[in-house]
A and B are shown apart, each in its own frame.
Chain A
Amino acid sequence: MATPAYKIDAGRLPAVLDDLARHRQVITRMDRDGVNVFARYTGDMPSLRGNGAVSAREHFLPRMEKIHGYQLAPGEVRLSPAGPVEPAVLFGARPCDLAALELLDRVLLEGEFLDTAYQARRAATVNMALACDSAGPGCFCRSVGVSPAGTAGSDVILYPSGQALLAVATTARGAELLESLGLPGAAKDEVDRAQDACEQLVVPVAVETGPVTARLGQRLDDPYWAEASRRCLGCGICTYICPTCYCFAVHDINRGSQGARVRCWDSCMFKDFLTMAGGHNPRPTRKERFRQRFLHKLQYYPEQYGSPLCVGCGRCLDKCPAGLDMAGVIMDLGGGQ
């Protein structure tokens, strides 16, 4: 039996979101002072243009997250748990952002060490992806194995069709959620047309990562890194807007005899990121820090997991103040024009 498809007319979207929000939080995209951000749905209409200034990763790996609370008592330290994770629906993230979750899963959920907080958020969140029927100026998803209609990481995929969204489940829990909404069905040919339009979408930037990954191992001392990193400003924009960056630092927020241990985003582009106790910094200059970020994405991760750690969302192409971005570096290293 074919997977059922449903239709959400534009006028019905608020009611659908209200329905979804009844039993769980709904995270969607809103315009705040002209900036498109992921935020909790509280009744205002979402804005599903583009892919969001900051990636959907922040729902799964929040900017700050409590690990546990603590209280000092005579002779002991009492720990209190971080609290339960709320069930959620992520509505309107693009296929690139959701494909990124599968790349993060390999690091955070497979192997010896398990990131339990990330695992809990992944398990508690149903992802309703919004397929792309138009591309942003920096998009290069196809070059890194992601499609504008891709379903990796999603539970439901939404295809734009005129003013409506056509919803198709891609997992069992997605099917269950869609069924519970009581939506009208969508005709198969309308779904096929909408899906085709997304699948055939041309994205503006094309690169080739394969040859670059193969060569990077020999290029640690390549003068390219010193020359290219000269214009890096050393800010953390690229790492913080990126759907596939996941570094964090652990801090204690101490207030007298109690406090909380939290983890916050951290960036390998920051000077102090790798500073050790005693003051030694193995990546003392921008050259080493800049190189590290690209080697991680293009060499270390591919060597370990078989694909680049990038989904071609294009955010770094749009936002790097120095015009130093993933696609550009790949091209500089011989991966395309």
Chain B
Amino acid sequence: MTAWLDALRDHVREFLSEPGVDVFIGYRAGRRGREVPAFLTRPEQASGLVLGPAASGALAKYVLEEAAGTTGRLGVLARGCEALSLQRLVRDLRVERERLHVVGVPCAGVADLAKLEASLGALEKVESCGERWLVTAGGNRHDVDPSQFMEERCRDCASPWPQQCNISFGQAVMSPASPDYSTVAALEALPADERYAFWIRQFERCLRCFACRQVCPACSCVECSLDLVDPPWLGREITVPAQAMFHYTRALHVAGRCVDCGQCQKVCPVGIPVALLNRKLARDIQELFDVQNPFVPGEIEPLGKFRAEDREEFM
């Protein structure tokens, strides 16, 4: 049990007692060791709040639906990537900052539940215990090394500590100075035809289920151009060129706005490394526009403003 969890619950209980508060979005215990998004509206529900390595959702995106048609305040539990996602929604004018009550919590990485289940059996509970995880699975308790079972997107997280919160709990975690682009560099080192073959193989598996878009905090358009039937910007046919076009379009639409939460890749049911495309564009932005960390929403959007000193050697 995490030391600050009781303090967090007390805080949420108080928040839900305040007038003008609609909801607090956090996690509660689900079945099979999961921790699932929870929408608390009454103070007494605060005692059901949990936050462990199995809480793998993306709470920020829910703010859009919850805020629609209401005027009250919304509380949201935020780890590093969720806090960045909320900043994204605020900067994109999708929700007013004043309506949000952002409760920051530390994060030491989210568990890859499929990987845990593959090696330990059906999950019952995943708990954090100091630097280790205690996993109850297949009727036994296991003490596991988080680095072995952490989700890939969390391994090189550049923003573990939530910024711009109304309040935070737990110990602040240091962030690395710059995002890690080693996965991009590894792919770039391949010859062009191998890179092409790599991506086509990925896109062939795409089901066009739109999970990557639905979970993405930078994909918050009221009407997505990819849904339009007339004009059909995205062909309805399910062919490899259409799948590739879907992913390239989405990558370019979120370029400069992606916060690298990695949810797009995490939710993909057929293992397409969607976040890799975003990281490639982010690294280009970092180099071309002299941005320190392209995943942190800033005052000036690198692709949203022209500056006379912008590099344009391609002209």
In the complex the two chains form, is A331's CB within 8 Å of B214's CB? no
Q: Does B125 contact A (CB under 8 A)?
A: no
Q: Which residues on A sit within 8 Å (CB–CB) of B122?
A: 137, 204-205
Of A204, A249, A265, A321, which contacts B207 at CB under 8 A?
A265
In the complex the two chains form, is A234's CB within 8 Å of B205's CB? no
Which partner residue on chain A sits nearest B58 by CB separation? A321
CA distance A35 to B273 in the complex (A): 12
Q: Does A24 contact B (CB under 8 A)?
A: no
Among A82-90, A180-188, A235-243, A305-313, the stretch that binds chain B is A235-243
A54 with B211, Cβ < 8 A, contacts A137-B32, A264-B238 known: no
B212 to chain A, nearest CB (A): 8
Q: Does B239 contact A (CB under 8 A)?
A: yes
Which partner residue on chain A sits nearest B66 by CB separation? A230
What is B's interface to A at a CB cutoff of 8 Å? Answer: 30-32, 34, 36-37, 39, 56-58, 61-62, 65-66, 114, 117-118, 121-123, 201-202, 205, 207-211, 213-215, 227, 229, 235-239, 263, 266-267, 269-271
A175 to chain B, nearest CB (A): 35
Q: Which residues on A sit within 8 Å (CB–CB) of B214?
A: 233-235
Q: Which residues on B sit within 8 Å (CB–CB) of A264?
A: 236-238
Q: Which residues on B sit within 8 Å (CB–CB) of A208?
A: none
CA distance A267 to B117 in the complex (A): 28
In the complex the two chains form, is B207's CB within 8 Å of A230's CB? no
What is A's interface to B at a CB cutoff of 8 Å? Answer: 32-35, 37, 53-54, 63-64, 137-138, 204-205, 227, 230-231, 233-237, 239-241, 249, 251, 253, 262, 264-265, 267, 270-272, 286, 317-319, 321-324, 327-328, 331
CA distance A271 to B239 in the complex (A): 22
Q: Which residues on A sit within 8 Å (CB–CB) of B235?
A: 253
Q: Which residues on A sit within 8 Å (CB–CB) of B121?
A: 137, 204
CA distance A54 to B122 in the complex (A): 21
Q: Which residues on B sit within 8 Å (CB–CB) of A234?
A: 214
Of B36, B123, B237, which contacts A231 at CB under 8 A?
B36
Which partner residue on chain A sits nearest B243 by CB separation? A63
In the complex the two chains form, is B209's CB within 8 Å of A32's CB? no
In the complex the two chains form, is B30's CB within 8 Å of A328's CB? yes
Q: Which residues on B sit within 8 Å (CB–CB) of A34?
A: 271
CA distance A286 to B266 in the complex (A): 22
Which partner residue on chain B sits nearest A58 by CB separation? B207
Of B36, B209, B266, B270, which contacts A322 at CB under 8 A?
B36
Which partner residue on chain A sits nearest B266 by CB separation? A321
Which partner residue on chain B sits nearest A229 by CB separation? B65
A54 with B236, Cβ < 8 A, contacts A35-B205, A137-B122 known: no
A237 with B36, Cβ < 8 A, contacts A35-B271, A251-B236, A264-B236 known: no
In the complex the two chains form, is B271's CB within 8 Å of A53's CB? yes
A231 with B210, Cβ < 8 A, contacts A35-B205, A137-B122, A328-B31 known: no
CA distance A37 to B205 in the complex (A): 8
In the complex the two chains form, is A317's CB within 8 Å of B32's CB? yes
Extra inter-chain contacts (20) besides given A137-B117, A236-B211, CB under 8 Å: A33-B202, A33-B271, A64-B239, A137-B122, A231-B57, A233-B211, A233-B214, A235-B209, A239-B209, A240-B209, A240-B269, A241-B269, A264-B237, A272-B229, A321-B215, A321-B266, A323-B34, A323-B36, A327-B31, A328-B30
CA distance A22 to B172 in the complex (A): 63
Of A64, A236, A286, which contacts B238 at CB under 8 A?
A64
In the complex the two chains form, is A231's CB within 8 Å of B238's CB? no
A321 with B57, Cβ < 8 A, contacts A264-B236, A271-B227 known: yes
Of A35, A138, A265, A267, which contacts B270 at CB under 8 A?
A35
In the complex the two chains form, is A322's CB within 8 Å of B57's CB? yes
B22 to chain A, nearest CB (A): 12
CA distance A270 to B235 in the complex (A): 17
Of B118, B209, B236, which contacts A249 at CB under 8 A?
B236
Q: Which residues on B sit within 8 Å (CB–CB) of A270?
A: 210
CA distance A323 to B229 in the complex (A): 31
Which partner residue on chain A sits nearest B273 by CB separation? A33
Of B37, B62, B215, which contacts A235 at CB under 8 A?
B215
A–B pairs, 5, beta carbons within 8 Å? A64-B238, A204-B121, A231-B36, A253-B235, A265-B238
In the complex the two chains form, is B211's CB within 8 Å of A235's CB? yes
Which partner residue on chain A sits nearest B267 by CB separation? A321
CA distance A63 to B204 in the complex (A): 11
